[in-house]
Amino acid sequence: MSLCSLRWGLLLLWFPVAALADDAVLRVSALPTAPTLAPGHVAATEAGQERAVSRVWLHAPRSHIDWYALRLGDDWRQATRPLLVIRGSTRAHVTVYLPPDYRPRSESVFDASLDPSFSHHAVVYLLPYDLRADQPVYVALGNPGQTQPIRVGITDVASYRARDLRHVRVSTFFASVQLSMVLVILCFWAVLRDRMFLYFIVYVCAQVVYAMAVSGELYALPGAALLAPLGYHTGQCMAALAAGFSIWFILAFADLRSYTPRLAAWLGALRWPFLAFAVIIWMPFLRPDAWLPNTVNLLLIVSTVIALASSWLAWRRGNRQAGFFLLSWLPLLALTLARVVQLMAGLPLPAWLEYGFPGSMAWAAVIVTVGLADRTLQVRHERDRATRMAQFDSLTGVFNRRAIMDRLRSAWQARIGSEPLAVLFLDIDHFKQINDSRGHSAGDACLAAVVEAIRAELGESDRLGRYGGEEFLIMLRGESARMAVRVAERIVARAAALRVPIGEHLIAFTVSIGVAVRGKTTSDIEALVEHADAAQYRAKAEGRNRVVVWRRESFALVVAR
């Protein structure tokens, strides 16, 4: 199949959805030479073959100017005034000559001075109410030109206003969705200060500016007169910036460097040409208009394929964020490829692509925002897990030594002297013999059983921690501290009644507990723990399976059964 045949095949697929309804049937002819035009006077020129069509697509050459004459099929008889509508002109120079005076007029969607009653979706010109079929409208196109065809039509003002209003509503909705997501992520960044959120903000904002520049709505905003001299270069610059920062975001969001390092390296290398192109577009001495658009489009295809392949592999390898990326960007990437094909092949811009592209950008912004929230939640869970691992004993699930001491210090400092505070120091009797005779798994089972026995006697404000090996610290506050001896005795009794099954055997063991209650002369929490530890050693020395209380008055240890 020849390239020409392929192009016509694509046109057949493109045109059925590209037409604009309510346009008048026009007779179009190409003029071999420019007509002699003067205000109020038109010198006829020999016209080329005339064709009657309801959809007029004109091509603008790059190196010269083509002239066209457009005439109504019949005299204008509708109630509202006719309107000449020119859409799709981004780079080409377009000059129109309208009856009755045939003065040259040359506006573009980038002009901030267009009629504010219409959007910048197209350049429109009001025609006479009594426009006749024998009054031509002359259009001069080209030098500079563009590969994409330009849509020209005549419609009534009322129909066009209705279509224009729908366009503004749709474009505003899509832009509002994206900017809302930017505000959400800006709040995320303000709290978390993660650079990835800045990548998202920059690339989405660049996308919004690009979409508004393409649709023309950017130049209807306050202050747009400053952008008018820049023309279509603003949109091209924003497209290159969006592509470069989107790569930065993808690499960070989906953690591609960890899951697909080689593809991630290739993808990361492509961001720099995009950023360079965003600068080169403003250097006219390099003649970027001649080569840059197709270069950027080809680079977009390559980066899109690599991003999809890398994300797919990362998702298959268990990367949850890569799945969010694929879900959010597949429609956008598909429409990006379609847009690149449309631009490179010089095809008309169909309605499904014109509105589908910003729609897919809005969809991607929403899903990626959900993905960022999910990623933040995962980070929080990982932080919570890390905090738990740092504070809790992995075997028994109680506080480790550092954590229980922190809780004791906090309780000590919270209400010094005003609230009862007691420390129980518990040690499993003959624990080494259990490990030596039954194995460490049996010792671990006994530790778990002791923890359950202790928890059964503790209140909500009490705390339990593993001090080391088979030793445990128990913090009692309030009423529990006043009844510290009774709590300790109940724990000793529960432990003595335990029978831990290990294979076919049942293991019985006992515990010894030292009790220390905060007094007026207790210097600090470390001293209180030392007193409980000394009492526990005395309990061991006096035969184990008992509770000993530290008595400061007589500086002696008394056994309490």
Q: Under 8 Å CB-to-CB from 382, ≥6 apart: which residues? A: none
What is the CA 304 to chain-centroid distance, rounded?
17
Separation of first and last alpha carbons in the chain: 101
User: Residue 367 corresponds to which tokens in the numbers above?
Assistant: 């899903």
Q: Are 65 and 106 in contact (CB under 8 A)?
A: no
pLDDT for the residue 43: 54
Closest-CA residue to 255 (of 312, 314, 197, 204)? 314
Closest-CA residue to 91 (of 142, 163, 160, 151)? 142
pLDDT for the residue 554: 40
Burial class (CB in 10 A: 0-12, 13-18, 19+), 113: exposed
Task: Give dist(CA 211, CA 360) in Å, integer.
Answer: 11
pLDDT for the residue 22: 63
Task: Give dist(CA 156, CA 81) in Å, integer.
Answer: 6
User: Residue 515 corresponds to which tokens in the numbers above?
Assistant: 């009790």
Handedness of CA 210, 214, 216, 219 (dihedral sign): positive
Task: Give dist(CA 428, CA 330) in Å, integer.
Answer: 61
Q: Which residue carries 């099954």 as its tokens?
A: 501
User: Residue 401 corresponds to which tokens in the numbers above?
Assistant: 């030594």
Task: Give dist(CA 72, CA 49) in Å, integer.
Answer: 16
pLDDT for the residue 557: 42
Task: Give dist(CA 160, CA 110) in Å, integer.
Answer: 20
Q: Under 8 Å CB-to-CB from 73, ≥6 apart: which residues? A: 24, 25, 26, 27, 52, 133
User: What's this model's pTM, rounded to 2 decimal places?
Assistant: 0.64
Give the CATH number of domain 401-560; options: 3.30.56.10, 3.20.20.70, 3.40.50.720, 3.30.70.270.
3.30.70.270
Give the CATH number of domain 15-162; options: 2.60.40, 3.40.50, 2.30.30, 3.30.1370.
2.60.40
Q: Are 526 and 560 in contact (CB under 8 A)?
A: no
What is the CA 151 to chain-centroid distance, rounded?
36
Task: Give dist(CA 231, CA 213) in Å, integer.
Answer: 9
pLDDT for the residue 423: 94
User: Residue 173 corresponds to which tokens in the numbers above?
Assistant: 């909705």
pLDDT for the residue 1: 38
**Do you find a cis peptide bond into 144, omega within 30 degrees of 0?**
yes
Q: Which residue carries 């426009």 as its tokens?
A: 131
Helices (H), 261-350: 261-269, 271-280, 288-316, 320-345
Domain boundaries, the chain: 15-162, 168-389, 401-560
Q: Which residue carries 């994206």 as its tokens?
A: 178
Closest-CA residue to 99 (of 139, 45, 135)? 135
How would you write the pLDDT of the chain (561 residues) with one tens digit per residue?
343 443 433 333 343 333 344 688 999 998 888 887 765 555 555 556 778 887 788 988 888 899 999 999 899 988 899 999 998 888 888 999 998 888 899 988 888 788 888 988 889 999 999 999 988 999 999 888 888 889 999 999 999 999 999 988 888 888 888 888 888 888 878 877 888 889 989 988 998 888 888 777 788 788 777 777 777 788 889 999 999 999 998 998 888 999 999 999 999 999 999 999 999 999 988 888 878 888 888 898 899 889 989 999 999 988 888 888 888 878 877 887 787 787 777 777 788 888 887 888 788 888 888 877 777 777 777 777 777 777 888 888 899 999 999 999 988 887 655 678 999 999 999 999 988 888 888 999 999 999 999 999 998 889 999 998 899 999 998 877 889 999 999 999 999 999 999 888 899 999 999 999 988 778 889 999 999 999 999 999 999 999 999 876 543 444 444
Task: Give dist(CA 355, CA 351) in Å, integer.
Answer: 6
Burial class (CB in 10 A: 0-12, 13-18, 19+), 368: buried
- With both helix axes pointing from N to C terminus, report the angle between 233-253 and 261-269 in degrees, rounded to the nearest 10: 160
Pairing of strands 547-551, 511-517: parallel
Distance set, CA 454 to CA 103, 464, 509, 511 (Å): 98, 8, 14, 11
User: Residue 328 corresponds to which tokens in the numbers above?
Assistant: 């959010």
Q: Is 139 left (phi over 0), alpha (psi -120 to 50) or beta?
A: beta
φ/ψ of 421, rounded to 5, equals -140, 130
Q: Under 8 Å CB-to-CB from 495, ≥6 apart: which residues? A: 428, 450, 453, 509, 510, 511
Distance set, CA 286 to CA 215, 238, 279, 292, 357 (Å): 27, 19, 11, 10, 30
Q: Is 51 helix (H, G, I), strand (E, B) or coil?
A: strand
**Do you find a cis peptide bond into 100, omega within 30 degrees of 0?**
yes
CATH architecture of 168-389: Up-down Bundle (1.20)
Q: What letter would DSSP give residue 25?
A: P
User: Residue 530 corresponds to which tokens in the numbers above?
Assistant: 């030392």
